[in-house]
Amino acid sequence: MPAKRDTLHLLLLMQTQNHAENIVSMLRNSGNATRAHQVSSLADFVEQLQDRSWDLVIAQQHTDEIHWEELQKQIKRLNKDLPLILVTQEDLNAISFESALKKGAATVVPLEESNVMLMVIERELKHLHIRREKRMLEVKLREAEKRSQSLLESSKDAVGYIHDGMHVYANQAYLELFGYDSVDDLEGMPIMDMVHTSGQKEFKAFLKKYDQAQQSGDLKTKGVDGEGSEFSMTMQFSPATYAEEECTQVVIRGQADSSELEEQLSEIRSRDLLTHLYNKTYFNEQLEHAVDSAVLKGATGAVFYINIDQFNKIKSDIGVNHCDTVVVAVAEALQKYLPENAQLARIGEDIFAFIMMGIDAERALQQAEKLRDIVAQLLIAIEKRTTTVTTSTGVALITENSSKPDDILQQAHQASDLVRKLEGHEQGNGVNLFVPAELNDTEKDESNLEQQLTDALKNNSFRLLFQPLINLRGDETEHYETLLRLPQANGDDISAGEFLNSADISDALKRKIDRWVILHTTKLLGEHREKGHNTRMFINLSSASLSDDSLAGWIGVALNAARLPKGAAIFQFNEEDAGHMLKQCHEFTHALLERGIPTALTRFGCALNPFQQLQHLDVEYVKVDGSFTQELSQSPDNQKHLKELLEKLHEEEKRTIVPLVESAASVANLWQLGVHFIQGHYVQPPQAGMIYDFDDE
């Protein structure tokens, strides 16, 4: 799946509605926001392809009315990039598998193998995302090439492109410099002819060195124009591509008295003032070159991320003023023992980094260990005392699989952080190679998470956040939604969805967490209302609580204990849980309604038949799925779909909520659609208290 986890738009051709709903449920449980449509006929399929953009087709191999091959023919006829995964209830053999692939199916998966199906879906969506991204990049590349060509032609600098020593292009300034009338006069002419005979030997040596290194370089020499007149010039060489051919860009400037000053200024701009090492800007440029070389030419290397351990403690021990002494001492030690081809940079207050090309993982770790040991043995004099420091070094490999320099640096940073989780290195002083996490590594994390949740219940260490909802129809009542967070030792939070939706956390624990949220939220709500606020609160419930027959009565007692009036607390659950537990949800909403307690259905609109479920539930509020908001500005079809959904909800007298509102433009569109409430960061991000000023609406 793409990293952004965009909403998956899925077309299904399944023999039964139950099979289709199981696939949608599987995808949602895996964290994929999914909107699906069950194909009812070939005409319906064609209409869906023409009206909307889809990501994937999952078709059963044998259905009563439509054959999957007909779907594949329509995909091809309409020239859609739409992978089709075939599922079968029959024994899969090599002959039928090969036949399906030849007919256009992406793959064939047994219907009962849900884990395999999920992996295949993830793979096909990843490939689809790559193809789409490639097409977008091709468009951007064409636009960039047009802009570059325009800038090149109007540039006052003399610029030429050389392939195998011959000119393939030169701009007007280049032609004028050497006294030629048109590019045709230069095509096929060796660049050696542009250099005066007195400098051709040096020029040949420079070109040989440049061809070996393939890195930018400058040469000061003498040029000769078409009439034989010589002049001083500086030639700047750099790798480039012109007309889809790899070549060399040559920029020629006349030698001016300011050239030495420009070089000095450039050197100053690339240096860290304290250590005189290279700075982060220079390092990032070198990292870009290294990644480009790996992708385009198959070069390999490694990034080293060196972090001084417990630097804040060092500040406290020796004082802020003496920390610079420590940083400089570490910088000098590292610089002294680094290979010549490694350029050390200081990229943070207590962080150093460098790149080594032509090195494998084992040699990189050996180099990192050598530097770690050198720093650990360093004795740093601070006035009348001596101090020592250690470092944690993360190593990330640069390979042909690398594409984003920022990702490589982030990987090295993560590897450095993980040193402290290695046995015997709790205080740092170690090296670690970044290795992508395996899927099975999450098992230990789930066990640890359940213990964290148990401890949080025991110690009341959960956090509650509150996000306001704004009524677009002028109701003066204040509305908030309470959101649960599990604080982590590193300062981050885990959102409730990450553990309440996990099958690895027991239902009994989930019910206890829900009751903790209800008790603490109603208590805070009661205190807030006593200050004169007419406030209502939306409280989320997990699927485990929906099957708790005693919960409705317990909620009534809890609200009475908090002295809250009827309607002050609104309990909400999501559409997916309602689909799995429709009978339980029907009984639960009815039981709360008898007590005067309203309910809400969230993430609405993604089920195959959302309104069929809704007619069995006594809910007053309906919150549509956030994917509708995210796609609101992408195309008129998306707005039309949301409009139809809202109109039908309003016909059934439901109060509608639209979440994830991020812009004023979205607010204007939603107001025209008659939405009751909006929620999102545009209104206010979740806060630790009920602090939104509703009078400023």
pLDDT above 80 (res 584)? yes
User: What was the pLDDT predicted at 384?
Assistant: 81
Tell me how far CA of residue 218 lies from CA of 127, 179, 242, 255, 290, in angstroms: 42, 23, 20, 12, 20
Specify which residues 236 forms β-bridges with: 218, 251
Question: For 651-678, what is the mean pLDDT?
Answer: 93
User: What was the pLDDT predicted at 439?
Assistant: 43
CA distance 354 to 305: 7
Report the amino acid identity of residue 526: G
CA distance 218 to 124: 47
Which of 20, 90, 82, 25 has the alpha carbon at shortest distance from 57?
82
| Residue 198 Ramachandran class (φ > 0 left, ψ -120 to 50 alpha, else beta) | alpha
User: What was the pLDDT predicted at 366?
Assistant: 95
Tokens at residue 264, please? 């000095």
Terminal-to-terminal C-alpha distance of the chain? 39
CA distance 473 to 479: 13
CA angle 279, 282, 284 (to 5 degrees): 105
Q: How confident is the model at residue 3 (pLDDT cuts 50, 70, 90)?
A: very low
* Angle, helix 114-154 to helix 17-29, in steps of 10 degrees: 60
Do the Cβ atoms of 164 and 156 come closer than 8 Å? Answer: no
Q: Are strands 245-253 and 158-163 parallel, antiparallel or unpaired?
A: antiparallel
Residue 90 makes CB contacts below 8 A (sequence gap 6+) with 61, 62, 96
Q: Are strands 655-658 and 677-679 parallel, antiparallel or unpaired?
A: parallel
pLDDT above 90 (res 62)? no
Q: What SS3 class is residue 343?
A: coil
Specify which residues 532 forms β-bridges with: none
CA angle 689, 695, 697 (to 5 degrees): 95
* Angle, helix 405-418 to helix 280-297, in steps of 10 degrees: 110
Which of 151, 191, 157 has the alpha carbon at shortest distance from 176?
157
pLDDT above 60 (res 489)? yes
Reported as a single tens digit per residue, the pLDDT across 222-265 is 998 878 888 889 899 988 888 888 899 999 987 554 555 666 66
DSSP secondary structure code for residue 689 in this structure: S
Residue 394 makes CB contacts below 8 A (sequence gap 6+) with 304, 305, 307, 411, 412, 413, 414, 415, 416, 417, 418, 419, 431, 432, 433, 434
Residue 543 makes CB contacts below 8 A (sequence gap 6+) with 510, 573, 577, 580, 581
Q: Please list, residue by residue across 216-248, b when 16 or more beta carbons sit within 10 angstroms of its beta carbon and e when fewer do.
A: eeebebbbbeeeeeeeebbbebebeebeeeebb
The three state secondary structure string of 526-587 is: HHHHHCCCCEEEEEECCHHHHCCCCHHHHHHHHHHHCCCCCCCEEEEEEHHHHHHCHHHHHH
pLDDT above 60 (res 56)? yes
Reported as a single tens digit per residue, the pLDDT across 504-528 is 899 999 999 999 999 999 999 999 9
Residue linked to tokens 């007195």: 198
pLDDT above 80 (res 216)? no
Tokens at residue 684, please? 């206010």
Helix (H) / strand (E) containing 238: strand 230-242
